[in-house]
Amino acid sequence: MKNIKGLLILVISLLVLSGCNEDEKQPVSTINTEEINPDKETEKELLALSEEIFSLLKESNYEKVAEKVDPEHGVTFAFYADFGNPEGYGGEYVNLTKQEISKSNDTKYLWGADESDKEFKMSLDEYVQQFLLRSWGRREVDYSIITFNEPAENFAGVFNTIHDYYPDAKYVEYYSPGETEHLFQSLRFIYQERDGEWYLIGIARDVATL
């Protein structure tokens, strides 16, 4: 009788312990704990935005381009690589508002000058087609390399000063190496974040001076 009573106590004890262990089990998490890299997300977003803007420029669709432009800053066009430099190598920058970009009229702007002090005055579309999509209005440019927030190559000459004057800005570079080192050309789409959205604040071109 004592053996039976002892056996019952053992069984009950085992059942109690089993119940406690069940209570201690933690549910398996179904949440993906892999962290999202915000820099990679920004890179992806701005690469796609630059591709869209580049296509719109080729189509001369400035009304759509204007939708991507910063509502307060507008967009600044730098004739050379020193974007933001108050001295502006090659002349003063051209800064256009969203409204001015959208209209894309025949207004002539002085975009810059070469080393011989020859000035280049033309409309927005003329500048885009001849100096951004072509090199010095002479030859087609094949932007075969695209980089994010860094230049494809560093050249002696006019320095890329985007981060010196706009430390919070990000840029996407379209780079064409050219047949020789003096025929390279870069196009930089420069963005700054405002209220959680990235807007175009500048387009800088980097070329060997004539």
The pLDDT mean for the chain works out to 86
69-86 mean pLDDT:
96
31-47 mean pLDDT:
78
Which of the listed ranges 33-47, 65-79, 156-170 does the model predict with the highest average pLDDT?
65-79
Residue 40 to residue 30: CA distance in whole angstroms: 24
Residue 10: what pLDDT?
Answer: 46
Q: Is 104 or 163 the better-scoring residue by pLDDT? A: 163
Q: Is the pTM of the predicted complex or chain greater than 0.85?
A: no
Q: Which two tokens stand for residue 197?
A: 């959205």
Residue 11: what pLDDT?
Answer: 44
Residue 83 to residue 189: CA distance in whole angstroms: 11
Q: Which two tokens stand for residue 194?
A: 């405002």
Handedness of CA 191, 192, 197, 203 (dihedral sign): negative
Residue 132 to residue 120: CA distance in whole angstroms: 13
pLDDT at 181 over 90: no
Residue 59 to residue 118: CA distance in whole angstroms: 28
Instruction: Please report which confidence band the pLDDT of residue 2 belongs to, taking 50, 70 and 90 as the band edges.
Output: very low
Instruction: Please report which confidence band the pLDDT of residue 193 belongs to, taking 50, 70 and 90 as the band edges.
Output: very high
The count of other CB atoms within 10 Å of the CB of residue 193 is 13
User: What percentage of the chain reaches a pLDDT higher than 90?
Assistant: 67
pLDDT by residue (tens digit) across 12-35?
A: 454 444 554 444 444 444 445 346
